[in-house]
C-alpha cells in the first residue's frame, strides 16, 4: 500500500477547487444535496442547479413538503431523475425519523433513499468532521492507478479491496482529504489521458512507474449500445395549448411531464424494432393514419397530422434514443378538450406553463423551439 495523503493534501492546498459553492458550508442539507446532484454528473453542470434548488428549497423541511412537480421542475435537465424523487423521500425521512437533521452515523445515513456508503461518508466527514472514507468515481480511479490494481474495478472483490484501501489511507482530516482526492481525480487523474506530469503522486504512483496510467482502470465490460426509436406527439388545441402526460414515478423519466409517445406498428401489428432508424422513423400515409387512430383510441381526440420534425438523438448512459416529433392539430376542439381533460395522466398547458414543468431534456428542446 502506497501512502498518498500527505502529497494529496499539500497539492490540494494550492490547487483545489476551494471556490465550489458546497465547500463554503458545513450544513448537512446543503452538503447532502451537492453529493446527490454530483452523482454521475459533472461539477459545471451541477453548479446552476444547486444554486437554484437551494434558493427555492433551502432546508430539509422545505424539500419534504414541496409538491413533487416543483422538485422535478427544479431538477429538469439535470438527468437521472430517480435522484430527485429519492431526494424528496430522503428529506421526508429525515424530518420524520431524525428530527430534521442528517443522521450522525453511516449506518443510519444509509437508510435514506438514494444514499449509499460513499455519499453517507462524504456528508459525515464534511458536516460532522468524522473520519469517513469515500469511494466515488474519482477516488476509485486515483486508488486504482496509485496502487496499480489490475482487476475488474466493478467486481465485488475489487470493490472490497478498494474500500479497505480507502479506509486505511484516509487520515483523521477526512473532510479535506476527501475533497483533495476528488479534485485530483477530476482535474489530473482523469479517465482518459491523465496529466501525470502535473500529478503530486507521480513519484509514488505504481501505474505510472509501470507505464499503465492509460490502461488503468481496466475496462472489461462492453458498453451497452442499445437503440430505441419513438415518435413524440405534440398535440395542440386551437388556443396553442399543448397536451402533456405525467409519467409514472418509476422509470427513467418518472414523475416528469412528457409529450405522448407513439410507437409505429408493422404489418404484424407489433411495434417496429429500432434496427434501421431512418426507416423506423420515416413519414408516410400509413404512419399518419396510425397516429390518427392512436389519438382517437387513446385520448378520444380527432386530429390532423400537420408535419414532422427532423430525426434527433438523445444519449443516455445505457442506450441511445432516436426520436421525431409529430406536430398535430385538433379537428374538433371543444369535444376533444372535454375528453382530454378527463384523461387522468394528461393536461393542457400554454407554452410558458409547459416549459415551467419538470420536463425531460428532449421534450424541453422540442417545446422551446415551438414557443
Q: What would the DSSP string read from start to end of 165-187?
A: HHHHH--S-HHHHHHHHHHHHHH
**Are 16 and 144 members of one domain?**
yes
| Helix or strand (DSSP H, E) at 333 | helix 333-340
Cβ-in-10-Å burial (0-12, 13-18, 19+) of 352 comes to exposed
Domain interval for residue 255 = 226-370
pLDDT tens per residue, range 117-152: 999 999 999 999 999 999 999 999 999 999 999 999
Q: Taking residues 108-117, what's their average pLDDT? A: 97
- Is 292 contained in some domain? yes
35 has catalytic annotation:
yes
Whole-angstrom distance, CA of residue 357 vs CA of residue 76: 8
Rg (CA), the chain: 25
Q: Do 119 and 231 reside in the same domain of the chain?
A: no
Say if CB 109 and CB 124 are below 8 A apart.
yes
The phi and psi torsions of 148 (rounded to 5 degrees) equal 50, 55
C-alpha triplet 57, 60, 64: angle, nearest 5°: 80
Together in a domain, 54 and 173: yes
Taking the CA of residue 117 as centre, how many other CA atoms within 13 Å lie in the half-sphere pointing to its CB? Answer: 12
Q: How many CA atoms lie within 13 A of 178 on its CB side?
A: 25
CATH of the domain at 71: 1.10.340.30
Q: Residue 36 belongs to what H/E stretch?
A: helix 28-37
Residue finishing a domain among 209, 244, 266: 209
State in Å, rounded, how far the first CA of the chain is from the last one.
59
* 154, 221 contact by CB (below 8 A): yes
Same domain, 129 and 232: no
Asked whether the predicted pLDDT for residue 85 surpasses 50, the reply is yes
Say if residue 159 is in the same domain as residue 97.
yes
Residue 217 belongs to a domain: no
pTM: 0.86
Within a domain: 216:
no
Contact 1/169 with Cβ under 8 angstroms? Answer: yes
DSSP letter at 34?
A: H
Residues 350, 351, 353, 355: is their CA dihedral positive or negative?
positive
Q: Which spans in the chain are helix H?
A: 5-15, 28-37, 43-56, 60-65, 68-75, 82-97, 106-109, 117-128, 137-146, 156-169, 174-187, 206-209, 277-280, 285-299, 333-340, 351-355, 361-370
Same domain, 9 and 68: yes
User: Is there a contact between 203 and 209 (Cβ–Cβ < 8 Å)?
Assistant: no
Residue 231 lies in a domain: yes
Cα 364 to chain centroid, rounded: 16
Taking only the tens place, the pLDDT of each residue in 168-220 is 999 999 999 999 999 999 999 999 999 999 999 999 999 999 999 999 999 87
DSSP letters for 151-169:
S-TTSHHHHHHHHHHHHHH
| Phi, psi angles (nearest 5°) of residue 320 | -110, 135
Report the domain count for the chain: 2
183 and 253 share one domain: no
For residue 219, tell me if it sits in a domain.
Answer: no
Per mean pLDDT, which range of 23-32, 260-269, 289-298 is the poorest?
Answer: 260-269
* 221, part of any domain: no
Name the percent of the chain lying above pLDDT 90.
76
Q: What is the pLDDT of residue 268?
A: 46
**The residue to which cell 502529497 is assigned:** 7
What confidence category does residue 299 fall into, taking pLDDT thresholds of 50, 70 and 90?
confident
Higher pLDDT, residue 305 or 279:
305
Q: Is the pLDDT of residue 338 over 70?
A: no
The mean pLDDT of the chain is 91
DSSP state of 259: P
pLDDT digits (tens, 9 = 90+) for 38-49: 998 999 999 999
Instruction: Please report whether residue 18 resides in a domain.
Output: yes
Q: Looking at residues 326-347, what average pLDDT do you find?
A: 65
Instruction: Provide φ and ψ at 239, rounded to 5°.
Output: -95, 5
Q: How many CB atoms lie within 10 A of CB 222?
A: 6
Same domain, 42 and 180: yes
* Domain match, 203 and 234 both: no
Of the pLDDT bands very low, low, confident and very high (cuts 50, 70, 90), residue 371 is low
Domain at 255, CATH number: 3.90.79.10
Residues 334 and 309 in one domain: yes
Q: Which residues pair with 311 in a beta bridge?
A: none
**Residues 198 and 296 occupy one common structural domain:** no
Catalytic residue among 35, 132, 236, 245: 35
As a whole number of angstroms, the longest Cα–Cα distance in the chain is 75
Confidence of residue 346 (pLDDT cuts 50, 70, 90): confident
Q: Would 220 be classed as within a structural domain?
A: no
Write down the residue that cell numbers 371543444 correspond to: 334
Last residue of a domain, one of 175, 209, 243: 209
Three-class SS state of 231? strand
Q: Categorize the per-residue pLDDT at 221 as very low, low, confident or very high, splitting at 50, 70 and 90.
A: low
> Do residues 133 and 121 lie in contact, with contact meaning Cβ atoms separated by under 8 Å?
yes
Where does a domain end: 209, 242, 274?
209
Kindly write down the DSSP assignment for every residue of 276-311, as one continuous string: SHHHHT---HHHHHHHHHHHHHHH---EEEEEEPPP
Q: Are residues 195 and 251 in the same domain?
A: no
Which residue's C-alpha cell is 482487476? 151
Amino acid at each position: 500500500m502506497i501512502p498518498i495523503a500527505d502529497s494529496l493534501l499539500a497539492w490540494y492546498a494550492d490547487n483545489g477547487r476551494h471556490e465550489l459553492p458546497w465547500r463554503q458550508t458545513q450544513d448537512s442539507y446543503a452538503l447532502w444535496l451537492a453529493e446527490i446532484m454530483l452523482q454521475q454528473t459533472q461539477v459545471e453542470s451541477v453548479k446552476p442547479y444547486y444554486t437554484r434548488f437551494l434558493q427555492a428549497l433551502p432546508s430539509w423541511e422545505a424539500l419534504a413538503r414541496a409538491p413533487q412537480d416543483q422538485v422535478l421542475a427544479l431538477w429538469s435537465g439535470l438527468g437521472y431523475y430517480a435522484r430527485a424523487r429519492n431526494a424528496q423521500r430522503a428529506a421526508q425521512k429525515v424530518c420524520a425519523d431524525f428530527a430534521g437533521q442528517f443522521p450522525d452515523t453511516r449506518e443510519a445515513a444509509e437508510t435514506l433513499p438514494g444514499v449509499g456508503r460513499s455519499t453517507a461518508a462524504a456528508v459525515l466527514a464534511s458536516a460532522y468532521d468524522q473520519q469517513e472514507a469515500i469511494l466515488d468515481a474519482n477516488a476509485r480511479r486515483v486508488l486504482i492507478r496509485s496502487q496499480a490494481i489490475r482487476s475488474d474495478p466493478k467486481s465485488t472483490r475489487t470493490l472490497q479491496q478498494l474500500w479497505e484501501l480507502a479506509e486505511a489511507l484516509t487520515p483523521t482530516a477526512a473532510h479535506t482529504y476527501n475533497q483533495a482526492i476528488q479534485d485530483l481525480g477530476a482535474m489530473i487523474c482523469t479517465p482518459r489521458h491523465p496529466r501525470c506530469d502535473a500529478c503530486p503522486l507521480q513519484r509514488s504512483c505504481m501505474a505510472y512507474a509501470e507505464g499503465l496510467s492509460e490502461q488503468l482502470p481496466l475496462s472489461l465490460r462492453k458498453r451497452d449500445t442499445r437503440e430505441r426509436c419513438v415518435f413524440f406527439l405534440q398535440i395542440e388545441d386551437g388556443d396553442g395549448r399543448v397536451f402533456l402526460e405525467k409519467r409514472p414515478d418509476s422509470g427513467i423519466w418518472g414523475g416528469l411531464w412528457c409529450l405522448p409517445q407513439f410507437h409505429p406498428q408493422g404489418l404484424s401489428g407489433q411495434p417496429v424494432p429500432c434496427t434501421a432508424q431512418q426507416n423506423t422513423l420515416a413519414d408516410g400515409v400509413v404512419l399518419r393514419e396510425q397516429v390518427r387512430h392512436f389519438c382517437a383510441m387513446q385520448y378520444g381526440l380527432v386530429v390532423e397530422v400537420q408535419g414532422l420534425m427532423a430525426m434527433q438523438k438523445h444519449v443516455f448512459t445505457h442506450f441511445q434514443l432516436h426520436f421525431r416529433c409529430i406536430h398535430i392539430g385538433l379537428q374538433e376542439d371543444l369535444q376533444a378538450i372535454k375528453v382530454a381533460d378527463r384523461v387522468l395522466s394528461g393536461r393542457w398547458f400554454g407554452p410558458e406553463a409547459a416549459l415551467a414543468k419538470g420536463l425531460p431534456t428532449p421534450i424541453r428542446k422540442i417545446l422551446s423551439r415551438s414557443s
